Amino acid sequence: MNDKSKKPAAPAREKVKNDKSKKIAVTPAGEKLQKVLARMGFGSRRDIEQWISDGRVMVNARVAKLGARVDALDSITVDGRPLKQDAETYLQRRVLIYNKPEGEVCTRNDPEGRPTVFDRLPRPHTGRWINIGRLDINTTGLLMFTTDGELANRLMHPSYQMDREYAVRVRGEVTEEMIENLKRGVMLEDGPAKFTDVQAAPGGEGYNRWFHCVVMEGRNREVRRLWESQDVVVSRLKRVRFGPVFLTSELSMGRWREMGQAELDILSKEVGLEPILLPEMSEKAKDKLDRQQRKTAKPVAAARNIRRGADKTVYTTNKEQPAEFAKDSRKPRASGPSSNKKPGSTRNTPVRRLRPE
């Protein structure tokens, strides 16, 4: 047998890995610019993205682009005004609860000169108040404001399924078939819409009846348009719940209050955000805030609904229905010196000055 015919086995060679084929994931430094500005309270992320597209935002003296990332060392300018970045600004999260009266618009500056929901609010130390959702001029009830744009964005985003509950007074005959249509869904001008729940308020009778209904989105005049699709008229509409936050009768119409730490932590966890401690306030600042709350002017039309006492809002995740509609439907009685004044009397009635609550 010829040994030459046998070839020695070739030594095993390690496969040379191609470095070019490797893809190393590098985490970009910093946070997205629109997210940072939203947290600082300058607006929602959607608004700030539009500012960046319009060239209104600069980073380190250069016009920013969408997707840009920044950290605490970067210099940010909006409309030529430099912004102060520090740990306090990055971590501040405050929330106000407001009972909106009829006749106010949800905008900062109204070209027609009408009162806005921002007119009554206190001025925040940093950033500005961002309204979480909107109500039209004829709708009353629960509004929330925050200095944290990321919190506002998550509460309004459809993916977080924040339901809105309304107390609505309907004029006209409402049948079970109509309620089933509204829960099944109807086609509106801007697409299909529906109520996820409709419940008749206890004790409702006659031509005007109260209902509680729930929607999962905040489209313009959606609740009114849904009822109008069934050939009935909404004569009164009030938002009584937004997600886990209920509005109760202790918070009088036209008044606001700030959320405490416990309920703010619950709201943050509801949308997947880590709780943040409220900024510390001096005794002088607390006294000033209390005076602002007491001196808040109240609408004349809502004066009959005002109660004295502490302003509190129940914060819960259950589905209890508040009884706001019951006393709102009562008519005020004629009272005061003007109702007993004799015709033709020329005597001047003395003016009484009311102390603020």
SS3 322: coil
So what's the pLDDT on residue 90? 55
So what's the pLDDT on residue 74? 82
Instruction: Tell me which residue has tokens 């912004």.
Output: 83
Q: Determine contact, residues 127/44, Cβ cutoff 8 Å.
A: no
**Phi and psi torsions of 302, nearest 5°:** -100, 5
Q: What's 19's DSSP letter? A: G
Is 128 exposed, middle or buried, given 0-12, 13-18 or 19+ CB atoms closer than 10 A? Answer: middle
Q: Determine contact, residues 258/124, Cβ cutoff 8 Å.
A: no
Where do the domains of the chain lie, and which CATH numbers do they carry? 31-89 (3.10.290.10), 95-158+245-328 (3.30.70.580), 163-242 (3.30.2350.10)
The C-alpha atoms of residue 131 and residue 154 are separated, in whole angstroms, by 13
Q: Determine contact, residues 72/107, Cβ cutoff 8 Å.
A: no
The C-alpha atoms of residue 146 and residue 130 are separated, in whole angstroms, by 5
Q: Taking Cα atoms as reference points, which of 259, 260, 252, 328 lies closest to residue 296?
A: 252
pLDDT digits over 19-67, tens only?
A: 444 444 444 567 788 878 877 767 777 788 888 999 999 888 889 888 8
pLDDT digits over 191-235, tens only?
A: 999 999 999 987 666 788 999 999 998 888 999 999 999 999 999
Q: Taking Cα atoms as reference points, which of 39, 40, 41, 34 lies closest to residue 57?
A: 34
Lowest mean pLDDT, pick from 44-48, 127-131, 336-340: 336-340
Residue 243's Cα: distance from chain center in Å? Answer: 10
Q: Would you tell me how many other CB atoms lie within 10 Å of the CB of residue 224? A: 17
pLDDT digits over 161-172, tens only?
A: 899 999 999 999
Structure tokens at 107: 């905008």
pTM (predicted TM-score)? 0.65
**Phi and psi torsions of 88, nearest 5°:** -60, -45
The C-alpha atoms of residue 252 and residue 248 are separated, in whole angstroms, by 9
N-to-C CA span, the chain: 116
> What length is written for the chain?
357
Residue 88's Cα: distance from chain center in Å? Answer: 23
CA angle 328, 333, 337 (to 5 degrees): 135
pLDDT over 50 at 175, yes or no = yes
The C-alpha atoms of residue 287 and residue 107 are separated, in whole angstroms, by 28
pLDDT over 50 at 346, yes or no = no
Strand 76-78 with 57-59, pairing: antiparallel
Question: Residues of the chain with pLDDT > 90: what percent?
Answer: 38
Residue 287 CA: distances (Å) to CA of 58, 68, 96, 283, 309: 38, 41, 17, 6, 17
Please tell me which residue in 119, 136, 287, 290 is annotated as part of the active site.
Answer: 136
Give the pLDDT band (50/70/90) at residue 313: very low
The C-alpha atoms of residue 265 and residue 270 are separated, in whole angstroms, by 9
Q: What is the mean pLDDT of the chain?
A: 77
pLDDT digits over 63-84, tens only?
A: 988 888 887 778 888 888 887 6
Q: Is 136 labeled as catalytic in the residue annotation?
A: yes
| Alpha-helical regions (H) of 17-73 | 33-39, 45-53
| Alpha-helical regions (H) of the chain | 33-39, 45-53, 87-91, 149-156, 176-184, 222-228, 261-270, 283-294, 324-328
Q: List 97's β-bridge partners, or say none.
A: 144, 257
